[in-house]
C-alpha cells in the first residue's frame, strides 16, 4: 500500500511539473475535452527522485529497501474531463477489497477507560451528565413503551436499545439550526432538543394533541420547531431529501448543515447512492450518519453487501468518510463535532459509519431470536452496552454515584408512566382532521359540488 501511495505521488508530481513546462497548459482543476498529449520530448523534473529511461519512455522510482515500482508509461497523459490521467503500460485491476479493513475510531474501551492519550473533543461535567441523563431516559422510555404495546395499549413500537450513544452523542454535537432527516431509530435527537415525554406519548397514542393528528403510526415523530422532519417508513427516502435541503442552506449561506440517519440496509437502496453522488457534485454541507447495527431486520450485513461495510462507499463518490465506534459516546461526539465543522466551513458532505448493534428486536412485529443467537444479543446487551460504558467513565471521573443513578431512573420511570396515562385519557382527533393540511379549504358536502365546475372543485396542495 505504501509503495502504491508513493507511486501515485510521484506520478501526480510529474504531471504537475510537465503541465507547467508545456505550451498547452494542463490544469488539474479543470475539465478539458479529451486529448492525448505526447510527453516524450518533455524534460524530467530535476526534483524527481527516480530512474529515467529515455528510450522506452518509462520510469521507475526507488523505494526503501531497494525495491522498485512497476514501470509507469509516461509517453502519454490522457487529458480527460475531470482531470488528467497518467497512462501506464502495466495492466492491473483494482482489488475488490483492501488488504485490511478500515479502522474504527474509539476513545473509550468497553470498560470506560480511555484507549489513547491523543486529544479528542473534551466533554465537561455538565455536558457529560446531560448526555448520560438523556441516554438513560431514552432507554427507560423505550422499555416502557415497548411493554405498553405488548399490553395492547398502542399498536406498534420500535426501540433504540443498544444505540443510545449514536442518538444522544450525535445530537449533543449538533445545534438546533442543523436540520434532521431521521429514519425511525433516532428519537434521542428529539429528546435532546427538548421534545417532551408527553409529546412522545401523544404521538404513539395518536390523540388530539399529536402533531400528526393521529394520521401516522406510532414512532413516526416530527417537529417543525425542532428542525426534525417527520419520520417516513419508506426506507432511504430521507437521504436525498437531506441533500436537497443542504443545497438550500448553502445557497442561503446558513452556518448550519443537514444530518440524515439511516441503517445499513438503506445503503442497498438507490436513494442512498444517488444522494451521495448528488451531495458530492453539489458540494453541500450534509452529514450522512449510518447506524450499521449488523442487521437489516433479519438480513445480516454479510448478505447485504460484499464491501468493507459502508465507510468505503464514501470515497467512491468523492466523499470524506470515517468509521466510528457507535457504542462509544465520546467517540461519536468527537467525530460528529469535527465532521459538522468540516461540512459547514468547507461546504462538503461527510459520511460517518457508526458500528453498533441492535440489541432489541427490529420492532414489536419481529422476533430476532429466530435468526440470530441469543448469546450474541446478550453479549452486546451486557459487555458492550453504550450507556453502561459511559456510566463507567463518569464514575471514574467522580461525577456520578449509585444514589444519583437510582434517583434518576426512578424519576424518569414515573414521568414516562404519567405521560402514557395522560395520553391514554386524551380524546382522539376529529375525523374532519383527516383532510387538514392537505387542502386550502375543507371541501363542501358532495351534493353542493357543481357538475364539472372547476371553481367549485377543491384544489389539493402539492
| Domain ranges (residues) in the chain | 12-86, 125-425
Provide CB contacts within 8 A for 407, sequence distance 6+.
none
How much of the chain, in percent, has pLDDT values that exceed 70? 78
Bridge-partner residues for 73, per DSSP?
A: 58
Nearest CA among 291, 330, 388, 288 for reference residue 173: 330
Q: What is the pLDDT of residue 174?
A: 98
CA–CA dist 164, 128 (Å, integer): 14
Question: Residue 76 — pLDDT band, cuts 50, 70, 90?
Answer: confident
Question: Residue 438 — pLDDT band, cuts 50, 70, 90?
Answer: confident
Q: Which of these ranges, 169-173, 195-199, 239-243, 439-443, has the smallest mean pLDDT?
A: 439-443
Pair 59, 52: CB distance under 8 Å = yes
> DSSP for 68-102?
BPPPEE-SEEEEETTEEEE--SS--PPPSS-SSPP
Task: Kindly report the length of the chain.
Answer: 462
pLDDT digits (tens, 9 = 90+) for 275-300: 999 999 999 999 999 999 999 999 99
Provide CB contacts within 8 A for 226, sequence distance 6+.
176, 180, 190, 193, 194, 195
CA–CA dist 369, 298 (Å, integer): 10
Q: What is the pLDDT of residue 447?
A: 62
**DSSP summary character for residue 294:** S
Q: What is the pLDDT of residue 36?
A: 32
Question: Residue 444 — pLDDT band, cuts 50, 70, 90?
Answer: confident
7 pLDDT higher than 50: no
272 pLDDT higher than 50: yes
Helix (H) or strand (E) holding 5: helix 2-21
If one compares 310 and 34, the residue with the highest pLDDT of the two is: 310
Exposed, middle or buried, 388 (CB in 10 Å: 0-12/13-18/19+)?
A: middle
Helix (H) or strand (E) holding 164: helix 164-173
Angle of CA points 448, 453, 456, to nearest 5° = 50
How much of the chain, in percent, has pLDDT values that exceed 90? 72
Helix (H) or strand (E) holding 331: helix 329-345
- How many CB atoms sit inside 10 A of residue 249's CB? 21
Q: For residues 296, 302, 304 and 305, what is the CA-based torsion angle, rounded to 10 degrees?
A: 140
Q: What is the pLDDT of residue 260?
A: 98
Nearest CA among 399, 403, 383 for reference residue 391: 399
Nearest CA among 189, 190, 160 for reference residue 362: 160
Mean pLDDT of all residues in 155-178: 98
38 pLDDT higher than 60: no
Q: What are phi and psi of 352, to 5 degrees?
A: -120, 120
Q: For residues 427, 431, 434 and 439, what is the CA-based torsion angle, rounded to 10 degrees?
A: -120
CATH class of 125-425: alpha beta
Catalytic sites, residue numbers: 147, 233, 362-363
pTM reported for the whole predicted model = 0.80
Separation of CA 433 from chain center: 35
Q: What is the mean pLDDT of the chain?
A: 84
CA–CA dist 87, 74 (Å, integer): 7
17 pLDDT higher than 50: no
The owner of cell 394533541 is 209
3-state secondary structure of 361: coil
Amino acid at each position: 500500500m505504501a509503495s502504491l501511495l508513493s507511486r501515485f505521488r510521484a506520478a501526480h508530481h510529474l504531471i504537475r511539473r510537465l503541465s507547467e513546462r508545456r505550451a498547452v497548459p494542463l490544469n488539474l482543476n479543470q475539465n478539458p475535452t479529451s486529448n492525448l498529449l505526447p510527453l516524450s520530448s518533455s524534460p524530467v523534473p530535476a526534483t524527481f527522485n527516480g530512474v529515467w529511461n529515455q528510450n522506452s519512455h518509462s520510469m521507475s522510482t526507488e523505494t526503501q529497501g531497494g525495491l522498485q515500482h512497476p514501470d509507469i508509461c509516461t509517453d502519454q497523459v490522457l487529458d480527460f474531463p475531470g482531470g488528467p490521467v497518467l497512462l501506464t503500460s502495466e495492466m492491473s485491476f483494482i482489488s475488490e477489497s483492501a488488504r485490511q479493513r478500515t479502522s474504527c475510531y474509539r476513545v473509550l474501551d468497553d470498560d470506560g477507560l480511555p484507549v489513547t492519550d491523543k486529544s479528542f473533543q473534551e466533554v465537561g461535567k455538565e455536558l457529560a451528565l446531560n448526555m448520560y441523563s438523556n441516554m438513560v431516559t431514552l432507554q427507560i422510555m423505550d422499555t416502557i413503551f415497548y411493554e405498553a404495546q405488548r399490553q395492547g395499549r398502542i399498536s406498534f413500537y420500535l426501540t433504540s436499545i443498544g444505540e443510545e450513544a449514536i442518538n444522544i452523542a450525535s445530537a449533543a454535537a449538533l445545534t438546533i439550526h442543523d436540520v434532521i432527516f431521521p429514519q425511525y431509530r433516532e428519537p434521542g435527537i428529539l429528546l435532546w432538543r427538548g421534545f417532551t415525554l408527553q409529546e412522545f406519548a401523544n404521538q404513539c397514542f395518536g390523540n388530539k394533541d399529536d402533531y400528526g393528528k393521529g394520521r401516522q403510526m406510532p414512532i413516526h415523530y416530527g417537529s417543525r420547531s425542532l428542525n426534525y422532519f417527520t419520520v417516513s417508513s419508506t426506507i432511504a427516502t430521507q437521504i436525498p431529501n437531506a441533500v436537497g435541503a443542504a443545497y438550500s442552506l448553502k445557497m442561503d449561506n446558513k452556518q448550519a448543515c443537514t444530518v440524515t440517519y439511516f441503517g445499513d440496509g438503506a445503503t442497498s437502496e438507490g436513494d442512498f447512492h444517488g444522494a451521495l453522488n448528488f451531495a458530492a457534485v453539489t458540494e453541500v454541507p450534509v452529514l450522512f450518519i449510518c447506524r450499521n447495527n449488523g442487521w437489516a431486520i433479519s438480513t445480516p450485513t454479510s448478505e447485504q453487501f460484499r464491501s468493507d461495510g459502508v465507510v468505503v462507499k464514501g470515497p467512491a463518490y468523492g466523499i470524506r468518510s470515517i468509521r466510528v465506534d457507535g457504542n462509544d459516546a465520546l467517540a461519536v461526539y468527537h467525530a460528529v463535532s469535527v465532521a459538522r465543522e468540516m461540512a459547514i466551513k468547507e461546504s462538503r458532505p461527510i459520511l460517518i459509519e457508526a458500528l453498533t448493534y441492535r440489541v432489541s428486536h427490529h420492532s414489536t412485529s419481529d422476533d430476532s431470536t429466530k435468526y440470530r443467537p441469543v448469546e450474541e444479543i446478550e453479549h452486546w446487551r451486557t459487555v458492550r452496552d453504550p450507556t453502561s460504558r459511559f456510566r463507567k467513565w463518569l464514575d471514574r471521573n467522580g461525577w456520578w454515584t449509585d444514589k444519583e443513578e437510582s434517583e434518576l431512573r426512578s424519576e424518569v420511570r414515573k414521568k414516562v408512566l404519567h405521560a402514557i396515562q395522560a395520553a391514554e385519557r386524551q380524546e382522539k382527533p376529529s375525523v374532519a382532521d383527516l383532510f387538514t393540511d392537505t387542502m386550502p379549504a375543507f371541501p363542501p358536502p358532495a351534493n353542493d359540488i357543481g357538475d364539472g365546475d372547476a371553481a367549485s372543485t377543491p384544489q389539493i396542495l402539492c
